[in-house]
Amino acid sequence: MTTLVTNIARLVTNDPSLGDGTPLGLIQDAAVVIDGDHIAWVGETSKAPATDNRVDAQGRAGLPGFVDSHSHLVFAGDRTAEFNARMSGRPYSAGGIRTTVAATRAATDAELAATLDRYLAEALRQGTTTMETKSGYGLTAADESRALRVAAARTDEVTYLGAHIVAPEYADDPGAYVDLVTGPILDACAPHARWVDVFCERGAFDGDQARAVLTAGMAKGLLPRVHANQLTYGPGVQLAVELGAASADHCTHLSDADVDALAQGDTVATLLPGAEFSTRAEWPDARRLLDAGATVALASDCNPGSSFTSSVPFCVALAVRDMGMTPDEAVWAATAGGAAALRRSDVGRIGPGARADLVLLDAPSHVHLAYRPGVPLVSAVWRAGHREV
């Protein structure tokens, strides 16, 4: 069955050759033909072919489904008290990530799956059609591998993050924990993941430890990505570029050498403004990265501690308001940029052969995502050709 979505006021294709020659490849008064799970045709409404079904977009804007390339959705428990204290200027001495680790270990598989399903559905209603998620709240072979099994049954992209923090049991012997992460835990997890990640940061894993984690994962066939330079300047970005990681995520504290490395390599700088919003931290400087020629992605970093939002539109608005991005750049980063951060060519664009992920906004232009922050503008979502919203 083929479906024609017609009368789209302005369509973002992310293909300059299909539209106006800009990176967004905009087409005015556009139409899209969906054939099964893929896009079969894109062009002006007046030139649309006949199809089995027809949907009138009634002058709404269209764009690819958002590609959220960084989230932590396999978890249990709640950290409201931590957030409330932080926002109230009060000291709080609970365990942070360790609090979530304890709750996640105690949860059943069914409870973890239900939580993941809840937030995937929440993200889908806001236009996210491709979602990456990580382990990292188990920190044992059994708990990390079950997190990845739960995720692999439900999400597009799954990442092994045994090196999120040092497990509480190894607080006095981090080297022994790195041995576990690169040995038995990796062995249990590698069959269920595509990616290996590490939190390369003061208080988590240093450059040498991060290198050991990533190279061990790569030896098992996993592809690298890195939590890099979030809290301080450090070696994470340089390590990511050196190892050919698909993405260096956070990128808040960057030296000139870090920016140059990202601009000259093919590692995507994935910015996560929800984390800065939720912690009142310094904003990443997207303008500096873009002007240098780096590829930038935007993602939610949805997690229960430092960025508890599944809304990519909210992150787009933050990036425009506080990180120096134009609306066009932010929308590209949240779609095509996310696809680049996952090394995917089938998502993040609207064009023949792409997966049929299409979002319609209750607005005439994609600019309204930043222009009307906090407003639920998503009115329809197709994922792999199936209408979900």
pLDDT in tens, 266-313: 999 999 999 999 999 999 999 999 999 999 999 999 999 999 999 999
> Max Cα separation, the chain?
68
Q: Give 11-37 pLDDT, tens digit per residue.
A: 999 999 999 999 999 999 999 999 999
Beta strand residue intervals within 165-257, DSSP E: 195-200, 223-224, 226-228, 247-250
pTM, two decimals, is: 0.96
What SS3 class is residue 32?
Answer: strand
List Cβ neighbours of 89 (8 Å cut-off, separation of 6 or more): none
Q: Give 336-380 pLDDT, tens digit per residue.
A: 999 999 999 999 999 999 999 999 999 999 999 999 999 999 999
What does the DSSP assignment read for 159-222? EEEEESS--GGGTT-HHHHHHHHTTHHHHHHGGG-SEEEEEESTTSB-HHHHHHHHHHHHHTTP
Distance of CA 83 to the CA centre of its chain: 22
Q: Which residues pair with 56 in a beta bridge?
A: 6
pLDDT tier, 85 (very low <50, low <70, confident <90, very high otherwise): confident
List Cβ neighbours of 251 (8 Å cut-off, separation of 6 or more): 228, 229, 230, 237, 258, 262, 269, 270, 271, 284, 289
What φ, ψ does residue 355 adopt, rounded to 5°?
-65, 140
Report the distance separating Cα 353 and Cα 346, nearest Å.
7
